[in-house]
Amino acid sequence: MDLRVRTLLGGDRLRILLMFFHVMVQTVAEQEVENLSGLSTNPEKDIFVVRENGTTCLMAEFAAKFIVPYDVWASNYVDLITEQAEISLTRGAEVKGHCGHNESELEVFWVDHAYTLRMLFVKESHNTSKGPEATWNLNKVHFVYDSSEKTHFKAPVKVNKYIASSHHLSALVTPAGMSYECQAQQTISLASSDPQKTVTMILSAVHIQPFDIISDFVFSEEHKCPVDEQEQLEETLPLILGLILGLVIVITLVIYHIHHKMTANQVQIPRDRSQYKHMG
């Protein structure tokens, strides 16, 4: 009897230890994914970090908005009118994520899971004239929206959960080992499960790196999008032209000053021959 009691106590103790270990694992797993939007000075931008084995493996900063068309009844209750819901990714959203060698994923939920955004990043290797070259890109976007959510949808004809997605995007293409940065707006079209509807995803103030992060919580060198590079060139070109023009003016004035000084020191030969007799 005493042995049975000890065995039961030992089993209870083991179960308690296993439960404690399970809770600890869950707690650690929750700490692996963080929403750091409060650190951003931009109220529309979210900051997400995924960490595995105590190291940052995915970082994403961006503002996101979705333009979602949906049908409502016209005033005659016969015809349909298409309205547009503008859904922004709000701060404080829940986040999940995982990192892999060639695939990483970020998943975000907000407004009580009425909206879900899933972004899949893929790293690929390509053969070029210079040899193998590795890049990463945004390969897939998966957006789930619930038209019963009344903040953005006003009296829709059909109340349902819809999926809008785009596969094999190859967007935000970036050399491996670098982060992608783009302040300009970028639009991505998503095909909706709501028939004949296309959802538009608008990203802005983007800074993302889903692979090869070297320093914890620190982006690697930025690969800027072509639009930002063009805008930067347009901003700096007038300054460069102004500096060149100023330099040309300074050089011209210096040459003129030297020439004037040299000619002033030379003996002036009179043009009137009658003045030759006064010389000597």
| 276, part of any domain | no
Q: Of the candidates 173, 204, 224, which is a domain's last residue?
A: 224
pTM score: 0.71
Both 142 and 111 in a single domain?
yes
Both 258 and 162 in a single domain?
no
- pLDDT in the model for residue 151: 95
Percentage with pLDDT > 70 across the chain: 73
User: Which residues constitute the domain of residue 253?
Assistant: 226-263
CA dist., res. 70 & res. 84, Å (int): 6
Q: What CATH number is attached to the domain comprising 118?
A: 2.40.160.110
Both 45 and 155 in a single domain?
yes
Both 111 and 230 in a single domain?
no
Both 212 and 80 in a single domain?
yes
- The encoded tokens of residue 121 equal 């990043």
Both 220 and 234 in a single domain?
no
Answer whether 87's CB lies under 8 Å from 70's CB.
Answer: no
Both 179 and 244 in a single domain?
no
Both 117 and 167 in a single domain?
yes
| 238, part of any domain | yes
- pLDDT in the model for residue 271: 57
Work out the number of other CB atoms within 10 angstroms of the CB of residue 143.
23
| 181, part of any domain | yes
CA dist., res. 116 & res. 87, Å (int): 11
Q: What is the tens place of the pLDDT at every residue in 33-82?
A: 888 887 777 888 999 999 998 899 999 999 999 999 999 999 999 999 99
| 158, part of any domain | yes
| 5, part of any domain | no
Both 220 and 235 in a single domain?
no
- pLDDT in the model for residue 232: 46
Number of compact structural domains in the chain: 2
| 154, part of any domain | yes
| 13, part of any domain | no
Residues in Cβ contact with 54 at an 8 Å cutoff, skipping those fewer than 6 apart? none
Both 67 and 200 in a single domain?
yes
CA dist., res. 208 & res. 201, Å (int): 16
Both 219 and 230 in a single domain?
no
Both 52 and 70 in a single domain?
yes
| 175, part of any domain | yes
Mean pLDDT, consecutive 10-residue segments, the chain of 280 residues?
Answer: 43 45 40 76 89 93 97 95 96 93 96 97 88 93 97 96 94 96 96 96 97 94 82 49 64 71 62 54
